[in-house]
Chains A and B, each alone.
Chain A
Amino acid sequence: AQSVTQLGSHVSVSEGALVLLRCNYSSSVPPYLFWYVQYPNQGLQLLLKYTSAATLVKGINGFEAEFKKSETSFHLTKPSAHMSDAAEYFCAVRTLTGNQFYFGTGTSLTVIP
């Protein structure tokens, strides 16, 4: 079975600072990878996804993620944090032939003014 590890259940950054949220997956074959964001009392919204095209993926709201096969990682970054980025972020994987999403446990991002 797939597993997804998000290091750091809580991350705090200052407004304007770099955001780095970590995601590692376990798979012998590079899967499809996704980052979702969840605001309080809402569903999940797709930020970006990797589906075996360019390894550097740009998403909405200035976020991007880089797929690194050798490190089995798909870390999410944003150069400059904004107050509105405070939310819960989830990394998810789906295998090339699988029909199930596997989600990480989430990282709660706090942005300090």
Chain B
Amino acid sequence: KAGVTQTPRYLIKTRGQQVTLSCSPISGHRSVSWYQQTPGQGLQFLFEYFSETQRNKGNFPGRFSGRQFSNSRSEMNVSTLELGDSALYLCASSQGGARETQYFGPGTRLLVL
């Protein structure tokens, strides 16, 4: 099976712009979670989607949003970018149960100038 893929891998934006990141989960996986990783804050949970519904949400401002499509692919959007949004954004997919392993993609590295 193909692994989790994320596009684009690298992105440079300027403050105030918006960005959309894409994640394609492993075939058959219905859960997609998003994380922000920064040197100072570590791995922080953004949100999880399961069968097109947001099932869980972390403590991020409303500028961060996401959605999941019927084929389980997910997108994450960040509006009005700030310098502090520069990070590695990781997507992870699983079958959705609590004991299931999350499989991570390689991430999208976002740099906000």
Contacts and interface: CB of A to CB of B under 8 A. Distances in A.
B82 to A, nearest CB: 23
Taking chain B's interface residues, is the majority helix, strand, or loop, or is none over half, making it mixed? strand
A41 B9 CA distance: 10
Nearest to B109: A41
Interface residues of A, number: 26
Interface residues of B, number: 24
Contact of A105 (B42, B55, B109): B42
Nearest to B10: A41
A52 to B, nearest CB: 8
Interface in A4-45: 32, 34, 36, 41-45
Most chain B CB within 10 A, of A96, A101, A102, is at A101
Contacts of B105: 43
Interface string B31-72: 101010000001101001010000110100000000000000
Given A32-B98, A43-B4, A99 B45 contact: no
Interface string B87-99: 0001010000011
A100 B56 contact: yes
B98 A46 contact: no
A96 B109 CA distance: 32
Contacts of B101: 34, 46, 49
A100 B104 contact: no
Contacts of A51: 99
Given A34-B101, A43-B4, A101 B50 contact: no
A22 B49 CA distance: 31
12 contacts: A32-B98, A34-B101, A41-B106, A44-B90, A90-B43, A95-B98, A99-B48, A99-B55, A100-B48, A103-B35, A103-B45, A105-B42
Interface of B: 4, 31, 33, 35, 42-43, 45, 48, 50, 55-56, 58, 90, 92, 98-99, 101-107, 109
Given A46-B102, A49-B101, A97-B98, 19 more contacts: A34-B101, A34-B102, A43-B4, A43-B107, A44-B90, A45-B104, A90-B43, A94-B98, A94-B99, A99-B50, A99-B55, A99-B98, A100-B33, A100-B48, A101-B92, A102-B45, A103-B42, A103-B43, A106-B42
